[in-house]
C-alpha cells in the first residue's frame, strides 16, 4: 500500500466523519466543498475537515483511494458516502441524518 | 479545452443508449454542467455505483476538462 494510501486510511480510520475538501470548514475554497461542509454544520455533527489543497499528493491520492474523480469526498466510519451531489441528495431526502443517527453520531 | 454540450451528451448516450438525459450548461461557460440521467442500467445499483458508471462513460474527463457536473441519476422503471 502506497504511503499516501496509508495516510488516508489512517485519517479515515481515526475520525468518525471526515470531509476531504478544498479549503477548510471555516474557509472553504470551492462551492461544492462549502455546500457539504455547511450541511454537516447544519446537522451539528463533529467532523474532521481535511484540506486537499495542502498537498498535491493528497489531492490525487484521495481520488485514487476510492476511485472517485472529484472533491469533496465524505467518509463516515471509514466508509465513502459520496461527493457533493450524493450528500446533498441524501440530506434533502433525510437519509444523511438517518445515517448519522444509525451510527449514533448526532449530538 | 472545456467540453461542449454535444460531446458530453454523446458520451453519455453511447454508454446509456436507453437514457432520458437532461443536460444543462449551468453557467454558459462549457465548464459547469448539470445532468439528470434516467436509465435501466442503473437499476439495482447504489448511487455511488451509478455515478461511477457516469464518470466512466466520461472517459476520465470528469474533474479534468469537465470541471463541474451536478449529477442526478435515477433508475428507469
Specify the CATH number for the domain of residue B27: 3.30.300.90
Q: Which residues in chain A have their CB less than 8 angstroms from residue B66's CB?
A: none
Contact criterion met (CB < 8 Å) for B52 and A68: yes
Number of domains in chain B: 1
Q: In this structure, what C-alpha cell is assigned to residue A53?
A: 489543497
| β-sheet with B32-39: strand ranges across | B20-25, B32-39, B68-75
Strand ranges, E, within chain B: 20-25, 32-39, 68-75
Q: Write the DSSP symbol of residue A48.
A: E
> What is the span of the domain harbouring residue B59?
5-75
pLDDT, tens digit only, all 77 positions of chain B? 788 999 999 999 999 999 999 999 999 998 899 999 999 999 999 999 999 999 999 998 998 889 899 999 999 98
Q: Measured between CB atoms, which of A70, A80, A89 is closest to B63? A: A70
ipTM of the complex: 0.89
Q: What is the pTM of this model?
A: 0.93
Q: From the CA of A55, how many Å to the nearest CA of chain B? A: 17
In chain B, % helix, strand, coil (3-state, to 5) comes to: 30, 30, 35
Amino acid at each position: 500500500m502506497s504511503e499516501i494510501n496509508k495516510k488516508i486510511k489512517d485519517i479515515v480510520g481515526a475520525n468518525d466523519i471526515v470531509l476531504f475538501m478544498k479549503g477548510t470548514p471555516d474557509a472553504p475554497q470551492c462551492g461544492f466543498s462549502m455546500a457539504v461542509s455547511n450541511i454537516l454544520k447544519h446537522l451539528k455533527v463533529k467532523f474532521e475537515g481535511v484540506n486537499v489543497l495542502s498537498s498535491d499528493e493528497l489531492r490525487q491520492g484521495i481520488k485514487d483511494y476510492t476511485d472517485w474523480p472529484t472533491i469533496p469526498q465524505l467518509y463516515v466510519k471509514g466508509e465513502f458516502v459520496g461527493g457533493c451531489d450524493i450528500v446533498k441528495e441524501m440530506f434533502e431526502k433525510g437519509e444523511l441524518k438517518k445515517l448519522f443517527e444509525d451510527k449514533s453520531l448526532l449530538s | 479545452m472545456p467540453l461542449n454540450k454535444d460531446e458530453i451528451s454523446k458520451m453519455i448516450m453511447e454508454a446509456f443508449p436507453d437514457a432520458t438525459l437532461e443536460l444543462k450548461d449551468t453557467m454558459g461557460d462549457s465548464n459547469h454542467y448539470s445532468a439528470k440521467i434516467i436509465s435501466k442500467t442503473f437499476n439495482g445499483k447504489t448511487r455511488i455505483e451509478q455515478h461511477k458508471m457516469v464518470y466512466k462513460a466520461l472517459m476520465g474527463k470528469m474533474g479534468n476538462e469537465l470541471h463541474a457536473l451536478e449529477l442526478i441519476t435515477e433508475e428507469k422503471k
